[in-house]
Copies of this chain bind each other. A is one copy, B any other.
């Protein structure tokens, strides 16, 4: 092993990298940098022959995964072991050539795993960093397992709920952003909704945690890492906020009640005997949509708010249209719209009965067409 010494490689903490682009919400801390959400990444333009990254990670249940993109093409994808390690990103390349490198978190923030985190400490390279050009647009995606890319990886027969089947790269969010030349951020959680999670747990809602850096994480370590700090919305304002929620809210109507053991209160979105949604509970869902739009507007004053829905069924679409309508009427806010996504089919299905890569690609094709229209003002 002495033959490939690293004599010329210099370790640089992230704080010293001149042109470091960070994707995804963070606390702003770089020593180390904690990546919370799927699709979060560091990006550099690097003139070097070799690059290593010092990664730290741990978990109680769900390990983290990362992908490396070189010049926008995925080259490696790997599980991150617990502990602090150096990972070789590339080596043996032409030292004169500048390459664009992205190292991307492939897995969602894990609300169910207080011990789970992923951090980048430093790089080791023989080269120098150049500016990363900003993209003309910014998108924020908010969603559930679909938006977390659950099931994009893996055979159709897979049923285990494990991080390996998630991807932030082979995901309609990333593909849509690429198609419209946008940076993007993702706020997403499997099983969660706008009012409750699929099992009627009222805490499984994205709106309540939206303004925190990563408010759904639990445990003292994540708190210490700043997950519960207020997000700095002034630092990054999106052009479009895409909300892909509702699929688990529909699930709540079709799932058993949820008992809050602290209060003894029972939560259940009810169906009528004929299988239709119970009016009151549907109204509660609509109110949650309307309120979330108001919250999104308060933090994103200039963004188009775009509710999308339909990759795993359309049943709540009328309620979503009503709620958006109600929001628009009551506020006069016209910078809001709804867009139906194409339903998954047998041919486009992935693992765990979730949309596969072809479904994400089809969604990205249709959604990017719609967003392009919004961005061009047409």
Binding site for B on A (CB under 8 A): 1, 3-4, 58-63, 65, 70-73, 75-79, 81-83, 88, 90-94, 97, 115, 153-155, 157-160, 162-164, 274, 276, 310, 314, 317-318, 321-322, 324-325, 334, 337-340, 342-343, 345, 366, 369-370
Partner of A1, one of B83, B92, B162: B83
A321 to B314, Cβ gap below 8 A? no
Known: A71-B154, A274-B334. 15 other contacts (CB 8 A): A1-B83, A4-B59, A4-B60, A4-B82, A65-B76, A70-B155, A70-B158, A75-B164, A79-B91, A93-B160, A94-B159, A314-B370, A318-B321, A318-B325, A340-B340
A63 neighbours in B (Cβ, 8 Å): 88, 91-92
Cβ of A267 to closest chain B Cβ, rounded Å? 26
For this chain, the copies found in one complex come to 4
Which chain B residues border A163 with CB–CB below 8 Å?
92
A4 — which chain B residues lie within 8 A by C-beta? Answer: 59-60, 82
Q: Is the CB of A79 within 8 A of B76?
A: yes
Q: Is the CB of A81 within 8 A of B88?
A: yes
Residue of B nearest to A72 (CB): B155
Complex contacts, A70 vs chain B, CB 8 Å: 154-155, 158, 164
Can you give 22 A-B contacts (C-beta < 8 A)?
A1-B82, A1-B83, A3-B58, A3-B59, A3-B60, A63-B91, A70-B155, A71-B157, A73-B154, A75-B77, A76-B77, A78-B78, A79-B88, A92-B160, A92-B162, A93-B160, A276-B334, A318-B321, A318-B324, A318-B325, A321-B321, A345-B369
Knowing A75-B153, A88-B81 are in contact, say whether A317-B338 is a contact too (CB < 8 A). Answer: yes
Instruction: Please report the C-alpha to C-alpha distance between residue A157 and residue B73 in the assembled complex, in whole angstroms.
Output: 11
Q: How far is the CA of A126 from the CA of B159 in the complex (A)?
A: 19
A343: chain B residues within 8 A (beta carbon): 366, 369-370
User: Is B342 in contact with A164, judged by CB distance below 8 angstroms?
Assistant: no
Residues in chain B near residue A88, CB distance under 8 A:
63, 79, 81
Q: Which residues of B have CB within 8 Å of A75?
A: 77, 153-154, 164
Least CB distance from A61 to B in Å reads 7
Minimal beta-carbon separation of A68 from chain B (angstroms): 9
Compute how far the CA of A276 lies from the CA of B339 in the bound complex, rounded to whole angstroms. 18
Contact A61 to B1, CB < 8 A, known contacts A71-B155, A78-B77, A318-B338: no
Which of A276, A314, A370 lies at the interface centre, i.e. has the most chain B CB atoms within 10 A of its CB?
A314
Residues of chain B contacted by A81 (CB below 8 angstroms): 88
Chain B residues in 8 Å Cβ range of A71: 154-155, 157-158
Q: B62 touching A92 by the CB < 8 A rule? A: yes
Are B92 and A61 closer than 8 Å at their CB atoms? yes
Q: Is the CB of B340 within 8 A of A339?
A: yes
Q: Which residues does chain B contribute within 8 Å of A325, judged by CB atoms?
A: 318, 321-322
